[in-house]
Structure 1
């Protein structure tokens, strides 16, 4: 399997290793990146990166590819995905797929021409054992009708500092923090509910990573805790006084078309981080935590604990064992046509919800998404 990479950052360098381990014959034959931060990681682990090319068109013209992997900054994804599709190559794109409502509709129009199977997306948590167990409880009727969900994604201070130092600190590149980081989680709960959001409201801003909150020690921006996670393109050493325009905390509430309600909270300065959910249904309750690796289910009528499970992960995985499963499943999909648990349309729907959450936060309004979904369907079907 011959693979090209556009945007060889740390994440894509890591994924090249994981795919090489999980997919027979996976070989990177070329890449495009003026500052390939992930190249050193690949060399360290014995993964060849192939030839460097000056542009996506040069890569696609010079190499015969089975897969194009897009890991460039989010705002560049649409152009790079389009280049792959127009050369007849299947594309794997990191999340989020695009950064605006209009680019969402543009990509849907492209998919109408090239087919929704032509693009795969790195919404890796759909492959996690914990999420698969949660959806099994739904499908087996253990939860009954889902009524409401409380969920969160909280990051440790070193990870929050990474966002203040990395290119992702600029909304015009990342699309904003809720989209960049939490589209995983939004996709999980939209997939679980099986319905689209009809109304959203949101509040948040930046209250932690500000100059007044910097530790008093001299050279705070060089302290180990705030530089544990390396950043690449457009990185800065500044943390509390960086020029970031992203938020560092946000809450959102969502009402779905089928009446289910979601309460979601993110914060990037949580010293004992967690990424948990509580799904409450008419017959039972399921709660779990991707970071702390547990899953519990209780019966609503008897309060009996039906499931109390923990999960083992390895140091290789950056997402609770899901990276390896995603690579293996995508390999089977490309080779044998095996189905995947998440589609590019799912990813675009989750992304649009995140975009609307940020619009609601900025406008301090409750937004009705009816017209956005109408345009979404029109772009995909042409009807």
Structure 2
């Protein structure tokens, strides 16, 4: 039985806490947790079976008995925990993005090679059955060699606003949504194509969130406009937000309900990017963080035809029980495929990702993502941010040299 510990107690840590040990009781055991905020760590431990809390990370490395460490801290700190864990002789599972800039990325790759340990990046989107079905169709050659992909992801304001009220609102902490959020999507495309990006051009704006309205405050809790703001959240009414964050503010000063229209926000809320791949395929990508409803759509153009897919999470058609895929071949035929929507968090992806981690299940579709996959996905986002700043295309190799 493999023992694991968790570093960081944010939203994503909950998926790897007691739920993973409960799902795979014969394979893994949850043995410890560390967070820079010890009050939140204790709250997390109580929610997850009373596991031991470590107030010092190095002490956890030496005393917890864990063989595997799950890194779920804020993105800009991933690298230091990943590297220290490998140097202590242990393998690592890290939440996406693997890190937030090219220097930290190179440091992780060097440490992995130097220590001989292994980094796994938690790209749960690869494990969603719907996404895996698209991968299978592509590998079957149904639409031939992929020439281009148009991929659009629309976050509704319920989801999108979350990034603008938390630490993600600062580019130096999250890399912006091109790194923090889009890394999921860039990895899917890299995996679908089984190819590596060469260069990136991008544009980004911030027009909905940020300092776009005069009626704003410092945080929702004390805001004078809470009755009229559609993005107001009551941090004291939610047991989770109150116990994990509001009650623990006194320890580190972290405010979980900052105003989404704050002056200090410097990430984009509307983005588009073009990516060229080694074998010539092009990606046209869009991310919007302020849509009235939440969905995504993708069109695959190949030498043998065209494939269309997509999903509604909230809004029109969200309650449909089936996923749909439309394939148009060169003979003028239309082939429809459908599959029942998977249950579970992130479209069933979380459970299947953890199954791969815990049981070393067969990996026919190469869904398990290592450090190279983590690097290629996040570097597209890094290149996109630099392209916006410098007004030119950015080559991925230049970020690694």
Range class of TM-score, shorter chain: 0.7 to 0.9
Higher-helix-fraction structure: 1
**Cross-structure match for 1:4:** 5
Distance in structure 2 (CA, Å) of the matches to 1:102 and 1:76: 13
Question: Which ranges in structure 2 are unaligned for 5 or more consecutive residues?
Answer: 217-222, 246-253
Aligned to 2:233: 227
Equivalent position of 1:67 in the other structure: 68
Q: Tell me the secondary structure at the aligned position of residue 244 of structure 1.
A: coil
- Structure 2 residue corresponding to 1:268, chosen from 275, 284, 289: 289
Does residue 313 of structure 1 match 2:334?
Answer: no
User: Residue 14 of structure 1 contacts residue 42 of structure 1 at CA under 8 Å; is this kept in 2?
Assistant: no
> Is the deviation greater in 33-42 or in 345-354?
33-42
- 2:272 corresponding residue in structure 1: 251
* Matched residues, number: 368
Q: Tell me if structure 2 keeps the 8 A contact 1:150–1:277.
A: yes
Aligned match of 1:326: 353
CA separation in 2, counterparts of 1:284 and 1:42?
52
Cα deviation, residue 39, structure 1? 6.2
Q: Is the 8 A contact 1:152 1:276 kept in 2?
A: yes
1:129 corresponds in structure 2 to 129
CA contact (8 A) 2:201 2:275 kept: yes
Query: Aligned to 2:103, what secondary structure does the other structure show?
Result: helix
Quote the Cα distance in structure 1 between the aligned partners of 2:41 and 2:125: 22
TM-score (norm 1): 0.87
Compared with structure 1, are the counterparts of its residues 55 and 40 closer, same or farther at alpha carbon in structure 2 (3 Å cutoff)? Answer: closer
Q: 1:17 to 1:64 in 2, by over 3 A?
A: closer
Report deviation, 1:241. 2.6
Normalised by the length of structure 2, the TM-score is 0.84
Q: Offset of 1:28 from its aligned partner?
A: 2.2
Unaligned runs of 5+ in 1: 376-383
Out of 106-115 and 139-148, give the one that drifted further. 106-115
C-alpha separation in 1, matches of 2:50 and 2:296: 33
Q: Mean Cα displacement is larger for which, 197-206 or 219-228?
A: 219-228
By how many angstroms is 1:218 displaced?
Answer: 5.8
- TM-superposition CA deviations, 1:45-81 (whole Å, max 9, x none): xx32522212210111121112111111111111101
Aligned to 2:79: 78
Counterparts of 1:63 and 1:179, CA distance in 2: 32
Which shifted more, 49-58 or 146-155? 49-58
2:368 matched residue in structure 1: 341
Per the alignment, residue 53 of structure 1 pairs with: 54
Counterpart CA distance in 2 for 1:303 and 1:247 is 41
How far did residue 24 of structure 1 move? Answer: 2.3
- Closer, same or farther: CA 363–278 of 1 in aligned 2, 3 Å: same
SS of aligned partner of 2:332: coil
Distance 2:227 2:77 in 1: 29
Deviation at 1:255, TM superposition (A): 1.4
Residue 281 of structure 1 corresponds to which residue in structure 2? 302
Q: Is the 8 A contact 1:18 1:324 kept in 2?
A: no
C-alpha deviation, 1:253, in angstroms = 0.8
Number of the residue aligned with 2:33: 31
Contact 1:96 1:351 in 2 (8 A): yes
Cα shift readout 1:113-153 (whole Å, capped 9, x = no counterpart): 234x6111111101111121111111111010101100022
The change in CA–CA distance for 1:289 and 1:247 in structure 2 (over 3 A counts) is same
C-alpha contact (below 8 Å) 2:92/2:119 kept by paired residues: yes
Cα offset, 1:37, TM superposition:
5.0
Tell me the distance in 1 between the aligned counterparts of 2:362 and 2:49.
Answer: 25
CA contact 1:91–1:118 (8 Å) conserved in 2: yes
How many Å apart are 1:91 and its aligned residue?
0.9
Gap change, CA 1:68 and 1:267, over 3 Å in 2? same
In structure 2, the CA distance between the partners of 1:322 and 1:252, relative to structure 1 (3 Å rule), is same
1:208 aligns with: 208
1:212-253 CA deviation, whole Å, 9 max, x = no partner?
447899624885744389595442431223522111110001
Distance 1:313 1:226 in 2: 32
Measured on the aligned residues, the alpha-carbon RMSD in Å equals: 2.7
Most deviating of 217-226 and 239-248: 217-226
Could you say which residue in structure 2 is the equivalent of 1:190? Answer: 190
> Do the aligned partners of 2:6 and 2:16 also contact (CA within 8 Å) in 1?
no
- Matched residue SS, 2:6: strand
